[in-house]
Chain A
Amino acid sequence: MTDHTEHRLAVIGAGVMGTNITALATGHGVPVVLVDVDDEKLAAARLTVRQKLKHAQLMGVLPEGRGRGELVTTTTLADVAEATTVIEAVTEVTEVKNKVLTEVGGLVAPGTLVISNTSCIPVDEMATWVPRGDELVGVHFMNPAYLIEMVEVIRGTGTSDATMERVTALLSVLGREGLVVNDAPGFVINRLLHPLINRAAMLVQEGVASAEVVDGLLEGCLGHSTGPLRTADLIGVDNLADSLVVLHERTGDPECAPCDLMLQLVRDGHHGRKTGRGFFDYRKAAE
């Protein structure tokens, strides 16, 4: 067990998951250095994190008696050097993750836990981009990370026991419970979830049912708390399409080739909740 004061996080990427993880950590008293490429995005991220912390407090999911961790935002990647853990949460594009992790590998001291919040890219593939692949582990946080307690932990073939102990200690401080899986493209959750969402979108595309009806059936008949297409809007349709491409390239599974409707939404800028519209329109409706 470790105390929250022993942890200093660096989060790279101030998008949906980066701000989620930052809110989770600061809400649990862990200081965070949040890195992104431009100041405008970081200014927006500060507001987003504040809003997410408010949401977390509203839902009563933050520990009592623990102050908030300090949030520092920066465009200088070298500022991650003092962190005890670096969490990479950049776009699910191989070249982008490769560039960031390679640079991080050159900045952090041995013994620094390096986590990728990867959606689909295997940990073993990413381990070749850093100097100490045994210190890399995948942690698939859910969205919203501050509300959903369970996370998927992906152990690469080279991930050391010491790294597994460190990640368990961090997750404990953050109040998360991890279930460990072996490495594979998409791991367990996204190998199951992404083709399901893709097929759900295909059914809408083919005119079999509306998005409301597809989600309504999975919620009402199968007990999903959020239907596949609302889940897609929560993930971000653009991120989902990127992840499906990664899965398709690595598995050859035709179910993973993003369908035309999904690609059209991406082209039209309808990326889900974050843009106000995806499979559903959030500008007026409550849910």
Chain B
Amino acid sequence: MTTANPAVDPKAVEAQLLAFLTERIKAPVEPGDDLFRAGLVSSMFAMQLVVHLEDTYDIEIVGPELTLDHFRSVDAMTALVLRLSGKNDG
């Protein structure tokens, strides 16, 4: 028996990610917004998002999952977290 992980609830993940991004970017974010502009700073932030998702949801983002498109929006990140959490649950 395992404890239910709130991370696998799509609404909860979406709300957590929106709160995280709003704090970091210091601007309102919508779930479908494209978070990146071209340039180096945004690429550094992309890596921070990878680390954040891995630490927060106890997942490992490797191989073909490690692509910028999966971090482009809150929608895309939520889908990634759900997919990888599902795999973790076996």
Contact = CB atoms under 8 A, between A and B. Distances in A.
Interface of A: 51, 54-55, 57-60, 144, 147-148, 225-226, 230, 284-287
A122 B55 CA distance: 44
A225 B47 CA distance: 18
Query: Secondary structure at chain A's binding surface: helix, strand, loop or mixed?
Result: loop
Given A147-B40, A225-B39, A225-B40, A286 B66 contact: no
Contacts of A59: 43, 46, 68
Interface string B35-77: 0000111011111101000000000001000111001000000
A230 B43 contact: no
A198 to B, nearest CB: 21
A144 B40 CA distance: 9
B41 A230 contact: yes
Contacts of B25: 286
Contacts of B67: 58, 60
Given A59-B43, A147-B40, A287-B41, 10 more contacts: A55-B47, A57-B66, A58-B46, A58-B67, A58-B68, A59-B68, A60-B68, A144-B40, A286-B45, A287-B44
Contacts of A54: 47, 50, 62, 66
